[in-house]
Structure 1
């Protein structure tokens, strides 16, 4: 993780990180130098030399260096932190454009939002605040150790005498703590699961109040979690207490033996005081090792989630993209499944000639939406091939594939923008005249003009303030503006009022004209005039043909669906392109 984060930083970010570490190092060393100067001046006074001018000059110089380096470090650490955040977010944004649209499930969208806002911000904390100070502290410790070894090897050895034992003890304790924390996490999950089940089942438990079996189960999981939590706390307290004690042992061994060295004349009082004061700065990063480790685990967990996006599989682009010359659609023995043991599509084959309408009908979960998803490469087929104009969709540029298809679905996605801005999504460079013409074809122009700000009227997220039919007609205007040769249509008149329904049907009939259309049909009467109807059941095409032919097969699945449509079937004047 550390190497990957370092490589993610730009040269400017790396420079800022190094400057910040340098600044914090100078800040600490200048403070230590000031303490040394005070000790030197004290030694000078005690020896009868009252010339303190140069000590004062040195103190002022160190103070200026300390203040300037602190300002430098603070400014540069934020530059480094903002650099890593910007680079990671930029990488994620660029990566998001490379995924198939099937990547964006509701669950995945929530996860992406959490990663971009929460986990990426933690990287700023790691690089800008933790790394800079931690590295500076260890550099200062290394410099101090080298200087103190030169001054007095004996005292330096005493200063670090118990440090290796302390670090080894901390590492072993932290490893044991990981196991205990995992057990506590499992116990917490068990307790929450049982408690939720208990709350849901309270009515039943009241009816059988003489049985305390479930209550005892809840109490037991609570006791288990309490015991495992206590074990975690006890282990952490014990490890940190012993670790701190061992570092203190090094310090007091150094002081005790140092006093003997003074008596022997092996070290002056100045040297003894120097070690006594400066050793506390040497121990500083070691005393913070536990918090450094905890910060590392937190950062590693966040970075693991970030990598779920930055290393996720993207849509494979062909090295030499091929463009179709026409827009027929062919499914050739297509096999696909979302996951092992789940929905499976087997041997799907059909041909949709260019500028014709093919309707997909069948019960829920029969595979209608899966066919459109595969055409758009939301997922890629397991076996077989999907072709547009004879060209395998995997051999087309993904942008060209999506640019060849307009989508009008039941659930319309509108953004917090003007009505014009929402329509313009169909064609970013569209003129005002083209937008108005698209709105007229979608039968929404007159409604837009009735609004106080017309096309500049702001709408809320997902079209707050508009009816379902109005939102649908705005999405149809987008499709008119895009003017793609293929239209994927999820029948959209199920939940709108009669006036909007009639306007939508008129707009859809015009939109479908001279295009290759795949329509997911819910009201069978709306697709009676389709050139081809594919009847799906359990991931297979069980019937295909035109309405009258399919209806004449009284034992067929389509005949069964037609008879079961009831009042939802609509009337004949609702026919698509009728």
Structure 2
């Protein structure tokens, strides 16, 4: 228990940790205020027994009670405010911190981890940390402090009663430890099921078109229902496991309170305790363990807190790519690869590749599926770090640039386009956040998407669904190109940029891309012959190696993959129905 509490506080930022400590300090003051009622009762009882009850004594006792009640209310209000600000503030900060961490992780991490796993950590786990964990930690810590304070007071009043109370607390602690041990495995199952549930929900929603087209809605729905049912089962088991121990914990505390009452009465009857102390002990017996009882109910979730912190720490402790480079602005866009190797874990994808792309020229990458074309282009923009050799921009290793300085030099248009749940204008403006509306419209016109945007219900202010779900594939592609036009970076990477474009818009779009890429360094990955034939240099890849390089005409004169590629495309174009 103590280890989990320390782990939680260590995970928090210094600012919010101070807030939590402040809330705990207020909890101690609240405990003192609660204890004030007993000296007041003691004064009244002594006044009655000694027949010296006066107005002054009554007034003093009443003021003591009033001060305790008012101070407790003020401290509780301040404590609740600190607790909420620290809990939800830490949750927000950790989400931002994790997002920043993900930004600088190698892309290989995202290949290994599912979207559901990452989403679960940033949503469910952090939500539990900010909401449930904060309440559990504060109630548990508060219960421990209050109980320690009351035990100390009991030992000072009468050490025998104090020892009885201490025995009850130790029995409570043994039962609580057993409960947490049983909850540990169930808490792990709950975290795993939360992740699995998010994965299956995302898979079901994202693949709904394929599910319907192949008539697999029943199977996919069954998979989702099974995840929901399993999550419900584990949650029920977790609750039942706690409910087996919480009544037992409370029973021990109630019996200990009853024991204090009976023993106090016994001590009075045998003359070893005066009447006033005995009555006070009997009154306290009903309230002494209130804080500990509340703590026992919440402490059942401490293992969940521990796992939430662990999952957050796992991401935050991952080794990031080295990002402390120089904010260097290159004078040219010369790109050079010097005998680079790269592998996804044990599978080698790029094998000893060397090439040079002069500034202001275009390079096309062709080859069979899985030959390493996309990986090679992404290595140039440092989506990953090479395992051997170096990638240089303007003669400087890309690892020596700061990430932001490096990214300023690249614009990307991928075949798989991601659009945000926002207005069309803001999706285009993503390439340049401070762009004016006139600049947005100009970029849209270049990308041949102005007309269809104006046909939308609210034009550029139309909010499109997540990932542009309300737009066609070609429309999403053109908005992505408008975004790249808006950024106006000196190096353009086109990964099948025209793959989803309607034939009637292809000519205009190719003209827009030509205007975008004028006097810039262009890297293109394409299977369409017309896309690559005008490139200044074509690199042909096979199994991670460059097997051919040259212009379209030069490669046609060679017997190799490129000529077979051209012949296959030409034959396909000659087909007629």
Output the TM-score relative to the length of structure 1: 0.78
1:82 equivalenced with 2:88 (yes/no): yes
What's the CA shift string for 1:512-544, capped at 9, x where partnerless? 332222111112343223222222222222332
Does the CA contact (< 8 Å) of 2:343 and 2:350 recur in 1?
yes
Indicate the larger mover: 372-381 or 497-506: 497-506
Q: What corresponds to 1:562 in structure 2?
A: 566
Judged with a 3 Å threshold, the aligned counterparts in structure 2 of structure 1 residues 553 and 180 are, in CA distance, closer, same or farther, namely same
Q: What corresponds to 1:265 in structure 2?
A: 271
Indicate the larger mover: 118-127 or 396-405: 118-127
Q: What corresponds to 1:276 in structure 2?
A: 282
CA-CA distance at 1:153 after TM superposition: 1.6
Q: What corresponds to 1:397 in structure 2?
A: 402
Judged with a 3 Å threshold, the aligned counterparts in structure 2 of structure 1 residues 281 and 388 are, in CA distance, closer, same or farther, namely same
Task: Tell me, in whole angstroms, the C-alpha distance in 1 between the residues paired with 2:338 and 2:329.
Answer: 19
Does the CA contact (< 8 Å) of 1:408 and 1:479 recur in 2?
yes
What's the CA shift string for 1:174-225, capped at 9, x where partnerless? 44664698899999x9xxxxxxxxxxxxxxxxxxxxxxxxxxxxxxxxxxxx
Query: Where do 1:46-61 residues align within 5 Å?
Result: 51=54, 53-54=58-59, 55-61=61-67
Indicate the larger mover: 561-570 or 357-366: 561-570
CA-CA distance at 1:366 after TM superposition: 1.5
Judged with a 3 Å threshold, the aligned counterparts in structure 2 of structure 1 residues 289 and 27 are, in CA distance, closer, same or farther, namely closer
1:373 to 375, 378, 388: 378
Task: Tell me, in whole angstroms, the C-alpha distance in 1 between the residues paired with 2:242 and 2:430.
Answer: 56
CA-CA distance at 1:81 after TM superposition: 2.4
Q: What corresponds to 2:523 in structure 1?
A: 518
Q: What corresponds to 1:201 in structure 2?
A: none
CA-CA distance at 1:349 after TM superposition: 1.9
1:149 equivalenced with 2:152 (yes/no): no
CA-CA distance at 1:570 after TM superposition: 9.1
Q: Secondary structure at the match of 1:336?
A: strand
Structure 1 unmatched runs, 5+: 190-225, 572-578
1:159 to 133, 156, 165: 165
* Count of residue correspondences: 533
Q: Secondary structure at the match of 2:123?
A: helix
What's the CA shift string for 1:326-377, capped at 9, x where partnerless? 212222211111112x353211222222222221112222211111221111
Indicate the larger mover: 74-83 or 295-304: 74-83
2:308 to 302, 309, 331: 302
Q: What corresponds to 2:482 in structure 1?
A: 477
CA-CA distance at 1:380 after TM superposition: 0.6
Indicate the larger mover: 59-68 or 447-456: 447-456
Structure 2 unmatched runs, 5+: 196-232
CA-CA distance at 1:426 after TM superposition: 2.6
Q: What corresponds to 1:534 in structure 2?
A: 539
Q: What corresponds to 1:125 in structure 2?
A: 131
Q: What corresponds to 1:506 in structure 2?
A: 511
Task: Tell me, in whole angstroms, the C-alpha distance in 2 between the residues paired with 1:180 and 1:102.
Answer: 31
CA-CA distance at 1:430 after TM superposition: 3.8
Indicate the larger mover: 232-241 or 261-270: 232-241
Task: Tell me, in whole angstroms, the C-alpha distance in 2 between the residues paired with 1:184 and 1:353.
Answer: 55
Does the CA contact (< 8 Å) of 2:258 and 2:285 recur in 1?
no
Does the CA contact (< 8 Å) of 2:87 and 2:131 recur in 1?
yes
Q: What corresponds to 2:413 in structure 1?
A: 408
What's the CA shift string for 1:420-457, capped at 9, x where partnerless? 43333333344555444434433344555666765555
CA-CA distance at 1:276 after TM superposition: 2.9
Q: What corresponds to 1:327 in structure 2?
A: 333
2:350 to 345, 351, 370: 345
Task: Tell me, in whole angstroms, the C-alpha distance in 2 between the residues paired with 1:10 and 1:229.
Answer: 30
Does the CA contact (< 8 Å) of 1:160 and 1:250 recur in 2?
no
The structure number with the bigger radius of gyration is 1
Judged with a 3 Å threshold, the aligned counterparts in structure 2 of structure 1 residues 2 and 444 are, in CA distance, closer, same or farther, namely same
Output the TM-score relative to the length of structure 2: 0.78
Does the CA contact (< 8 Å) of 1:36 and 1:274 recur in 2?
no
Provide the alpha-carbon RMSD of the alignment: 4.1
Judged with a 3 Å threshold, the aligned counterparts in structure 2 of structure 1 residues 348 and 421 are, in CA distance, closer, same or farther, namely same
Q: Secondary structure at the match of 2:360?
A: coil
What's the CA shift string for 1:307-335, capped at 9, x where partnerless? 23333332313454554332122222111
CA-CA distance at 1:481 after TM superposition: 2.9
Q: What corresponds to 1:67 in structure 2?
A: 73
Judged with a 3 Å threshold, the aligned counterparts in structure 2 of structure 1 residues 93 and 390 are, in CA distance, closer, same or farther, namely same
Task: Tell me, in whole angstroms, the C-alpha distance in 2 between the residues paired with 1:64 and 1:306.
Answer: 40
What's the CA shift string for 1:81-132, capped at 9, x where partnerless? 2332343234334444444566556955544443333322333336753333
Indicate the larger mover: 330-339 or 457-466: 457-466
CA-CA distance at 1:300 after TM superposition: 1.6
Does the CA contact (< 8 Å) of 1:376 and 1:402 recur in 2?
yes
